[in-house]
Amino acid sequence: MIEIKNISKSFNGKKDVLMNLSCNIPDNIIYGLVGTNGSGKSTLLRIITSIYKPDNGKVLVDNVNVYDNEKIKKEMVFVPDDLYFYSGYTLKDLASFYKSMYNNFDMSFVYELANNLKLDINKNISSFSKGMKRQCAIICALATNVKYMFFDETFDGIDPIIRNYFKKLIINQMAKQDTTIIMTSHNLRELEDICDNLGLIHDSKIFFESDINSLKSDICKVQISLKNEFDKDAFSKLNILSYKKVGKVITLIVKDSKKAKKYLNSLDSIFIEFLPLTLEEIFIYQMEALGYEFKNVI
Amino acid sequence: MNLKMLFNFNFLYQNFKKSKVLLIFLCCIIPFINIWMIYLNLFKNNYVLDFIEISKITSIIAFIFPLILSYILFGFLLKKNVIDFVISKPISRKKIFFTNVLGGFIIIIFIILLNTLGLYLLSLFTKIFIPFEVLLDYFVYWLITYFFVFLVSSLALCLSHNWSSFILVYLIILLIYPCITLINYNFKYRNEKVLIRCNDSSCMPNEVNLGNNDNEYYYEIKHYYSNNLNSLINYYVYGYKNQSLLKTICLNVIYLILSYYAFKNHKMEYSESSIQNVYAYKLLKFITYLPISFICFMMFMDSISFLMISIIICLGYYFVFDLIMKKEFINPIKTLFEFMVVSVVIFCSYFAINYYYKNNNKIIDIPSEIIIEYYDNILNVSSKVLLNNQDIIKKIIKDNNVSDSQNNVVVYIDNNYYKNYYINNYTFQELKKYINNNKLNEKVTNKNIIFITADSNNYINIPLNDNFLNNVISHIDTYKEDSYTSFYLNVYKYENHSLKKMTINVGKNKDLLNYVKKYVNEDFVTNFNNDNDIFCSNIKIEFLDYINGNKSNFLTFLDNHKYDKIQDYAIIFSSGSCNYIIDSKILLKEYGDYGVFKE
């Protein structure tokens, strides 16, 4: 299990990027980390993978402090958003490098995937396209067979077909090796497909974390029209993220959907409809509720 | 100790692999350039090469190669995505650091070894002779110096987050000490008056008289220092004899420890950004401003007409520094104000130091030993000799007659001061007599002689042989200067990390002369008989006089005259790579008509 305890990190002594951030990531799940630009997702991944040293707090992996701990790092692999490969290296060279670093590295897996994805293992990686470079990085990461894998902007630049292929591979990997995978992406549709849990970083903290199903069932969209005259106060008992009234029809985004359904059904309504939300909609409404919106800009 | 605790050899291998092209290129090109440049200078210099002569290219590369090497190994610290790639791998910071340092050391050892081997081969297959002791010194000294520069640049990289700050920190660490020394020396040597005290009644008051006592006089001497930029480079390169390698090794250890802690605590998140700490930034700016302002101060002191240009240079630098380091001008008004304050402080300090040295007369007593440089008319060279005879020292210092310019000697004191003295004939003869005797006292044995050359206009290398050496050494005692000489033996020995040359006038001693001729001729006959492809484009016959011949004449001549006729020999030098011994009577017959050959 990954335990993140009161992590704080600031750059240039200015505002904290992360402040007293704590969360626990259980084993054998795919954890999606979301947040706005500059919210600290990549910084958190870099702290967990021991690239950055936190100003305060610590990260424990299997109850051991991860910072500069070679033994724990042997069980971790990180694919950053901005990829780098040694100049002149081919996929074969890169795989050899990973093999020399990770005990359980599976070379045959690399050959197999390279073959399936039509990647020339003897071709210089620098001559590959952006998407192909990312494929190389993900292939090598998956071939390490480590317990913890971290992907930053996982599928950036990869076409939808190969993206789906990698999603399946990641799910298989998790099932096969009991791997814990943490990934960030701005494409919430992607995370929705494969993540078990989701954490939202906002204002230097984890604003909420939950498993995807609970999250989706907990928040719902309601369209309702009441017989009597009413205003927003009529719904004051509900935890409302968004309220819009067009004529007599009100659109609500409410949290705690069970309680909301019970309450709204009890009202004397002309019609009422409960609609499920996509993860992306949940994220947008959550962020709007937190004051992060740009609708007035355009 | 388990080496795996400190090093990761897989990582080391990958480090070499990723930069193999550059490393192979450097490992080939550096020894090649070094050896080629030495070879090109072959005919301009002595055939017997000293440490300094074989170190010229190596010394320049010493500032560049370790810098490139440390960038290859630690350069990832300057790029965010490379940091992600390297640091996220399962290898501790400690191991990354020590593995990279080990990698750097291995490459340095390899390249210095290649250079040394190249020099050895050059010595083996050409007429150049580089004594083994010189090669050993070369290997040890440059190994430690390259380690030093590598560790300095690694430390600079561990302290920096982008290119410009890396180069700046590297230059500061490497040059701060010699630079401050240079500034101090300049102030001191331009202004300070150094006087030798002389309270003997025989002193001639022809210099400076500062004493209240009428019997106390002072002779002014000058600081011995060359005020040029080379001095900065020379501090590391040619200061070899004056510097303890132990000091450099200690500095290496200190820099290694500092680099380790700097690397371990390196803030990876700041890579690609400029210096974060405001005070550190201002300190670096101040340090780099010192030499710039000093040069401007010196220009201004030389001529007031440089005032404006000095101000422009200083002001320009103060703004350009921000532009280079921060890629922007930081608040011009604030910078201008800061410039004025800093400049006033620095220039006032310069004026104060200047004033201090100008009014500070240093008085020293007549030294117990001096180094004296005099011109040797016989050998046509300027010779330096350590003199510790108080009587002669006093005589030279007191007997300073400017009108007699024939007997000019330069006296060096404490490696710091020098003065030209013009001494009378009597003192000069006494000095030379003392020097001759002093030379005789030098212990020359067949054990410490490492090389012998026969010397006239060209060199001929004489193979070492115990009997020959013993014979030569037995004649060293008879060394006497003569007004005429045509043939010398140069005897080399290696002492205190430098090649020492002693010249023996062979022409003075008939026995030695015949012995040397016979010895060299026998060597020639052996070589000539074994080599059918001898080619000599330019032949010079030495010992009696010069005869220039061409290839065909010479070869015809050799064909017609077999060696069984040889009674008396001359020694023939060539500007190519061979030497021959010819019967001087045959030569006389063949070339005498040309009137260039005289017995």
Residue B370 has pLDDT above 50, yes or no: yes
What are A's interface residues with B at a Cβ cutoff of 8 A? 9, 11-12, 43, 46, 49-53, 68-70, 73-74, 76-78, 80, 82-89, 93, 97, 100-102
Residue B25 lies in a domain: yes
Q: Do B79 and A84 touch (CB under 8 A)?
A: yes
Are residues B500 and B550 located together in one domain of the fold?
no
Count of domains observed in chain B: 3
Tell me: do B121 and B5 sit in the same domain: yes
pLDDT band with cut points at 50, 70 and 90 for residue A106: very high
Which of B488, B505, B522 terminates a domain? The answer is B505
Residue B269, judged by CB atoms within 10 A of its CB (0-12, 13-18, 19+), counts as buried
Is B472 in contact with B454 (CB distance < 8 Å)?
no
Q: Given the structure tokens 């939300």, which residue do they identify?
A: A277
- pLDDT tens, B457-504? 445 556 666 666 666 666 554 444 444 445 566 777 777 777 777 666
Selecting from B81, B92, B267 the residue whose C-beta is nearest the C-beta of A83 gives B81
Report whether pLDDT(B144) > 70: yes
Q: Closest-CA residue in chain B for A74?
A: B90
Does residue B69 sit in the same domain as residue B34? yes
Cα B587 from Cα B569, distance rounded (Å): 9
Looking at per-residue pLDDT, the higher value among A126 and B228 belongs to A126
| Mean pLDDT, residues B581-597 | 45
**B174 vs B468 pLDDT, higher one:** B174
In chain A, what are the domains? 2-211 (3.40.50.300), 220-276 (3.30.70)
Chain B partners within 8 Å of A88 (Cβ): 18, 20-21
pLDDT at position B488 is 64
| B590 and B453 belong to one structural domain | no
Q: What is the pLDDT of residues A136-181, one digit of tens each?
A: 999 999 999 999 999 998 888 889 899 989 999 998 888 888 899 9
The pLDDT tens digits of the residues spanning A200-230 come to: 888 788 877 888 877 777 888 888 887 777 7
Please tell me whether residues B468 and B560 are part of one structural domain: no
Instruction: Measure B115 CA to nearest chain A CA, in Å.
Output: 28
For residue A40, the chain B residues in CB contact (below 8 A) are none
Q: How far is B11 from chain A (nearest CA, A)?
A: 8
Mark yes or no for CB contact B92/A84 under 8 Å.
no
Average pLDDT value for chain A: 86
Q: What pLDDT is recorded for position B595? A: 34
ipTM of the complex: 0.87
Lowest mean pLDDT among A119-123, B294-298, B444-448, B527-531: B527-531
For B572, the domain range is: 531-594
Q: Could you tell me if B501 and B590 lie in one domain?
A: no
* Contact between A238 and A218 (Cβ < 8 Å): no
Give the number of A-B residue pairs with CB atoms closer than 8 Å: 75
Q: What is the mean pLDDT of chain B?
A: 74
Query: Do residues B4 and B98 lie in contact, with contact meaning Cβ atoms separated by under 8 Å?
Result: no
> Which of B231, B266, B301 represents a domain boundary (last residue)?
B266
pLDDT, tens digit, 9 for 90 and up, residues B318-350:
888 988 888 777 788 888 999 999 999 999 999
Cα B70 to chain centroid distance, Å, stands at 25
Do residues B469 and B585 share a domain? no
Using a CB-CB cut-off of 8 Å, the residues of chain B touching A69 are 92
- Average pLDDT (B265-280) is 87
A247 and A199 Cβ atoms separated by less than 8 Å: no
pLDDT reported for residue B93: 94
Q: What is the mean pLDDT of residues B301-306?
A: 84
**How far is CA B34 from each of CA B126, B303, B510, rounded to the nearest angstrom?**
15, 42, 43
Contact (CB<8Å) B11/A100: yes
Q: Let me know if residue B5 belongs to a domain.
A: yes
Question: Cβ distance B207 to B220 under 8 Å?
Answer: yes
Q: Are strands B217-223 and A269-276 parallel, antiparallel or unpaired?
A: unpaired
What pLDDT score does B471 carry? 67
Which residues does chain B have within 8 Å of residue A100's beta carbon, measured at their own beta carbons? 10-11, 13-14
Same domain, B49 and B136: yes
pLDDT at B262: 95
Element (DSSP H or E) covering residue A292: none
Greatest Cα-to-Cα distance within chain A, rounded to the nearest angstrom: 73
- Greater confidence (A66 vs B380) lies with A66
Task: Please say whether the beta carbons of B507 and B475 come within 8 A.
Answer: no
Residue of chain B with shortest Cα separation from A146: B90
Whether B66 is covered by a domain: the verdict is: yes
Is there a contact between A86 and B87 if contact means CB atoms under 8 Å apart?
no
Is residue B466 domain-shared with residue B579, that is, in the same domain?
no
Which of A51, A70, A93 is the closest to B90 by Cβ?
A70
Mean pLDDT of the B42-53 span: 70
Nearest to A100 among B14, B20, B80 (CB): B14
How far apart are the CA of B147 and the nearest CA of chain A, in angstroms? Answer: 25
Domain boundary among B233, B266, B299: B266
Asked whether residue B150 falls in the same domain as residue B96, the answer is yes
User: Is B81–A84 a contact, with Cβ atoms under 8 angstroms apart?
Assistant: yes
Instruction: Sort out which chain B residues have CB atoms less than 8 A from A82's CB and list them.
Output: 80-81, 84
Contact residues, chain A, for B4 at CB < 8 Å: none
* B348 vs B371: which has the higher pLDDT: B348
Measure in Å the smallest separation between the Cα of A146 and chain B Cα atoms: 11
* The pLDDT of residue B342: 93
Taking an 8 Å cut-off on Cβ atoms, the answer to whether B18 and A84 are in contact is no
pLDDT at position B316 over 70: yes
CA-nearest of B524, B508, B504, B511 to B570 is B524
Tell me what pLDDT residue B517 has.
63
Does any domain span residue B13? yes
Residue carrying structure tokens 């520094």: B321
In percent, the amount of chain B with pLDDT more than 90 equals 22
How many residues does this entry show for chain B?
A: 599
pLDDT of B561: 47
B232 inside domain:
no
Q: What is the pLDDT of residue B299?
A: 86
Residue B518: predicted pLDDT: 64
Residue B102 located in a structural domain: yes
pLDDT on residue B514: 65
Nearest CA distance, A56 vs chain B (angstrom) = 14
CB pair distance less than 8 Å for B80 and A101: no
Residue B598: the pLDDT is 31
Q: Is residue B587 part of a domain?
A: yes
Which of A70, A85, A87 is the closest to B91 by Cβ?
A: A70
Q: Which of the two residues, B510 and A111, has the higher pLDDT score?
A: A111
| Chain B: closest CA distance from residue A55 (Å) | 11
**B254/B249 Cα distance (integer angstroms):** 9
Q: Render pLDDT for A2-55 as a digit per residue (tens, 0 to 9).
A: 999 999 998 877 778 898 898 889 998 999 998 888 888 999 999 999 999 999
> pLDDT tens, B553-564?
444 455 554 433
Residues B484 and B581 in one domain: no
**Strand A148-151 vs strand A180-184: parallel, antiparallel, or unpaired?**
parallel
pLDDT in tens, B82-124: 999 999 999 999 999 999 999 999 999 999 999 999 999 988 8
**Residues B249, B285: contact at Cβ < 8 Å?**
no
Q: Specify whether B482 is located in the same domain as B582.
A: no
CA distance B397 to B371: 13
pLDDT tens digits for B493-536? Answer: 777 777 777 666 665 566 666 666 666 656 555 555 554 444 44
Cβ-defined contact of A88 to B21 (cutoff 8 Å): yes
Which member of B85, B93, B270 has the closest CB to residue A84?
A: B85
What's the pLDDT at B229? 43
**Which among A70, A86, A102 has CB closest to B92?**
A70
Chain A within 8 Å of B88 (Cβ-Cβ)? Answer: yes
B358 touches chain A (CB under 8 A): no
Kindly state whether residue B327 falls inside one of the protein's structural domains. no
